[in-house]
Amino acid sequence: MSRPAQAFWVRADDGKRLRLAHWAAGADSRGGVLLFPGRTEYVEKYAGVAQSLNAGGYHVLAVDWRGQGLSDRLLPDARLGHVGQFSDYGRDVAEVVRTATAMDLPRPWHLLAHSMGGCIGLAALHRGLPVASAAFSAPMWGINLRQMPHGVAVGIAYLAGRLGRGARPAPGSGGALGTYVLDESFSANLLTADPDEWCRMVREAAAWPDLTLGGASFDWVGKALNECLRLSRLKSPVLPALASLGGQEKVVSPAAIRERLARWPGARLLEIPDVRHEILMCTPDHRAAFLSAVLSLFKGAAEA
């Protein structure tokens, strides 16, 4: 039987309170996984994923990023996704690493990151995140802006900031009920084609509204776009890696993922035609295929 997570609070070096969760593996541990969720997410959402990793022999340490989950929110409107500087997420990463070290999380460590967590994770790898390998689910190395040019989107966000509207919702980023899974229908959602996973997310959002997050501020959008551009100019880290890309991806930029993996020696791109944005919350067969590839990556990196 899987063990429940232990959740606890820590403080980043700027005083922001962060919530972490640890799922412990059994005695025959293979190492630890630092789990970096995406925007709007919270640690409970990854309970099933963590338990699968536990079954593979890995401890899991996950984080509610500042501004979401039960970590400190950053605006009076707690439902609005926001960040002061995108590099502030690096403060959260530093606290995750300090905590993992203090609790003697078994090594080697590996990274598993989804969407915005993939952007934060890539930046952390460039700062020396002490992991043996990195697995990414639909990493946000670029944002799908539909037909809007990158420069126009950045310019709009910059102008909003200059006009004192940087902490206001960016158009199209949130709905009436304040969180995507309550605003959108299953048939039109961009996250998953699995009705069971969709229903789980809806139940969690309805039962635990304090965990949820709505749209993003102009400041978040502009700073996220600038961070993606900054990272695109950097070389790829030197470690084994894996990234998934769904054939129905409409949230992040498929081109940015393909471009990064094409210049990452030793990295593998796993493309699955019928998957939307969240392969870890997708149908059981697709989820199992990705997790099998992740566990193979971790095992190979540890042996190397």
Residue with more model confidence, 159 or 286? 286
Examine the pLDDT at 147 and tell me if it is beyond 80: no
Distance in angstroms (rounded) separating the CA atoms of residues 97 and 89: 13
Q: DSSP character for 94? A: H
Distance in angstroms (rounded) separating the CA atoms of residues 53 and 36: 14
Please report the pLDDT score of residue 300 as a whole number. 96
- Average pLDDT taken over every residue of the chain: 94
The Cβ of residue 268 has, within 10 Å, a number of other Cβ atoms equal to 15
Residue with more model confidence, 150 or 217? 217
Q: Are 38 and 252 in contact (CB under 8 A)?
A: no
- Structural domain containing residue 96: 6-303
Structure token pair of residue 201: 């997310």
The per-residue b/e assignment along 120-143, b for 16 or more CB within 10 angstroms, e otherwise, is: bbbbbbeeebebbbbbbbbbbbbb
Closest to 167 in 3D by CA, of 216, 212, 223? 216
Closest to 58 in 3D by CA, of 296, 278, 295, 288? 295
285 burial type by CB count under 10 A (0-12 exposed, 13-18 middle, 19+ buried): exposed
Half-sphere exposure for 132 (CA within 13 Å, toward CB): 20
Separation of first and last alpha carbons in the chain: 31
- 60 within domain boundaries: yes
pLDDT tens digits, 192-216: 999 999 999 999 999 999 999 999 9
pLDDT tens digits, 223-255: 999 999 999 999 999 999 999 999 999 999 999
Distance in angstroms (rounded) separating the CA atoms of residues 32 and 110: 6
- 1 within domain boundaries: no
Q: Which helix (H) or strand (E) holds 18?
A: strand 17-23
Please report the pLDDT score of residue 173 as a whole number. 56
- 153 within domain boundaries: yes
pTM to 2 decimal places: 0.96
Band of residue 177 on the pLDDT scale cut at 50, 70, 90: very low
% of residues, the chain, pLDDT over 70: 97
pLDDT tens digits, 93-122: 999 999 999 999 999 999 999 999 999 999
For the sheet containing 6-11, what is the strand order? Answer: 6-11, 17-23, 58-64, 31-36, 109-114, 134-137, 241-246, 267-272
User: How many domains are there within the chain?
Assistant: 1
- 219 within domain boundaries: yes
Examine the pLDDT at 1 and tell me if it is beyond 50: no
Examine the pLDDT at 178 and tell me if it is beyond 80: no
Please report the pLDDT score of residue 159 as a whole number. 81
- 104 within domain boundaries: yes
Return all residues near 244 (Cβ < 8 A) that are at least 6 apart: 136, 137, 138, 270, 271, 272, 275, 279, 290
CATH of the domain at 140: 3.40.50.1820
- 257 within domain boundaries: yes
- 49 within domain boundaries: yes
Q: DSSP character for 45? A: G
Closest to 10 in 3D by CA, of 134, 81, 100? 100
- 93 within domain boundaries: yes
pLDDT tens digits, 43-55: 999 999 999 999 9
